[in-house]
């Protein structure tokens, strides 16, 4: 055989790392942090091994644990002490996220991103103001335009508390524009928006809903989160967010939607984020507990695939474990 091209020449130990096309580093990763106003001690999250809800008083200690691994950015999610029909604790100046963010920004060097949504704060668990027939005969479930002002209020309250970036996740039409206008009017022109630009109605969110106590009390979120079958629609969603001033574009979930991550990467020069969601995390843990997979290896390979698809940033529950081993 006369083979002039032998790809295996570049797979020996010495040269293999030199020609590696993709790497994952700790600075690529964002670690979720759950702060719970209803508890005075850490509460393990059963469906997400290794993660827990922490009281506001423990939020700084929890973030310091993240920083020790080399991860520099966190996303704060809150579990409020009370809920109501409109989710008013989401924008309260003394709310759980606001209180935690003030502590974290005062006492650490973490880059603090906050989740801007209403599902954890509403009695019904949906991501906005309900239409009158939402439970019995829904049309669009959530009143889009009435919800936009509330999202603006939340983003402003987070920025006032010291958040470095806000991340709206409700998939409301016009949410990026409404939040940008609210932030600018309040003097927060330098606070960027990382939009959940293509967020799909996914079966991979189950453990998170346990963690953040944000499952809908009835129905589902098909009227505002995207149909998993649609990729061209994702392009339209992302384009609208770009037009409205989004600074970072997120795709959620990550692994089942790597084609969308790649499409967004090729279509826009914005930073692209992907959310390696709770179900992706939990299923790998479950398989590892059975002895079917090596958890450390598959966790790293999963994040590597997300980076290879085109993500610049990865929000992942594996952040600390992977960063600690890099």
Tens of pLDDT along the chain (326 residues) come to 678 889 999 999 999 999 999 999 999 999 999 999 999 999 999 989 999 999 999 999 999 999 999 999 999 999 999 999 999 999 999 999 999 999 999 999 999 999 999 999 999 889 999 998 888 888 889 999 999 999 999 999 999 999 999 999 999 999 999 999 999 999 999 999 999 999 999 999 988 766 666 677 777 788 889 999 999 999 999 999 999 999 999 999 999 999 999 999 999 999 999 999 999 999 999 999 999 999 999 999 999 999 999 999 999 999 999 999 88
pLDDT of amino acid 178: 98
Q: What is the pLDDT of residue 102?
A: 98
Which residues have a catalytic role annotated? 199, 252
Q: H/E/C letters for each residue in the chain?
A: CCCCCCHHHHHCCCCHHHHCCCCCCHHHEEEEEEEECCCCCCEECCCCCCCEEECHHHHHHHHHHHHHCCCCEEEEEEECCCCECCCHHHCCCCCHHHHHHHHHHHHCCCEEEEEECCCCCECCCCCCCECCCCCCCCCCCECHHHHHHHHHHHHHHHHHHCCCEEEECCCCCCHHHHHHHHHHHCCCCCCCEEEEEEEECCHHHHHHHHHHCCCCCCCCCCCCCECCCCCHHHHHHHHHHHHHCCCEEEEECCHHHHHHHHHHHHHCCCCEEEEECHHHHHHHHHHHHCCCCCHHHHHHHHHHHHHHHCCCEEEECCHHHHHHHC
pLDDT value, residue 209: 66
Confidence at residue 219, expressed as pLDDT on a 0 to 100 scale = 73
The pLDDT of residue 138 is 87
Does pTM surpass 0.85? yes
């Amino acid at each position: 055989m006369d083979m002039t091209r032998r790809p295996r020449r570049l797979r020996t130990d010495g040269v293999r790392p030199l020609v590696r096309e993709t790497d994952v580093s700790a600075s690529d990763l964002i670690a979720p942090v759950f702060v719970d106003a209803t508890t005075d001690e850490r509460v393990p999250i059963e469906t997400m091994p290794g993660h827990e809800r922490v009281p506001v008083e423990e939020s700084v200690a929890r973030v310091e644990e993240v920083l020790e691994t080399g991860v520099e950015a966190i996303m704060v999610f809150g579990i409020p002490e009370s809920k109501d029909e409109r989710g008013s604790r989401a924008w309260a100046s003394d709310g759980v996220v606001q209180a935690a963010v003030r502590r974290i920004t005062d006492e650490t060097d973490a880059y603090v991103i906050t989740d801007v949504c209403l599902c954890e704060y509403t009695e019904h668990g949906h991501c906005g103001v309900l239409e009158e027939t939402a439970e019995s005969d829904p049309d669009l479930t959530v009143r889009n335009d009435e919800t936009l002002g509330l999202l603006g209020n939340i983003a402003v309250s987070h920025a006032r508390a010291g958040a470095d970036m806000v991340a709206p996740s409700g998939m409301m039409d016009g949410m990026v524009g409404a939040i940008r206008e609210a932030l600018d009017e309040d003097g927060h022109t330098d606070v960027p928006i990382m939009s959940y630009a293509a967020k799909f109605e996914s079966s991979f969110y189950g453990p998170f809903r346990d963690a953040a106590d944000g499952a809908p009390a009835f129905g589902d979120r098909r009227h505002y989160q995207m149909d998993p079958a649609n990729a061209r629609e994702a392009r339209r969603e992302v384009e609208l967010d770009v037009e409205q001033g989004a600074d970072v574009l997120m795709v959620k979930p990550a692994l089942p939607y790597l084609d969308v991550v790649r499409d967004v990467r090729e279509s826009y020069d914005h930073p692209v984020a992907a959310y390696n969601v709770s179900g992706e995390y939990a299923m790998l843990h479950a398989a590892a507990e059975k002895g079917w997979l090596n958890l450390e290896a598959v966790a790293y390979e999963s994040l590597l695939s997300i980076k290879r698809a085109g993500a610049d940033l990865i929000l992942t529950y594996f952040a600390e474990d992977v960063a600690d081993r890099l």
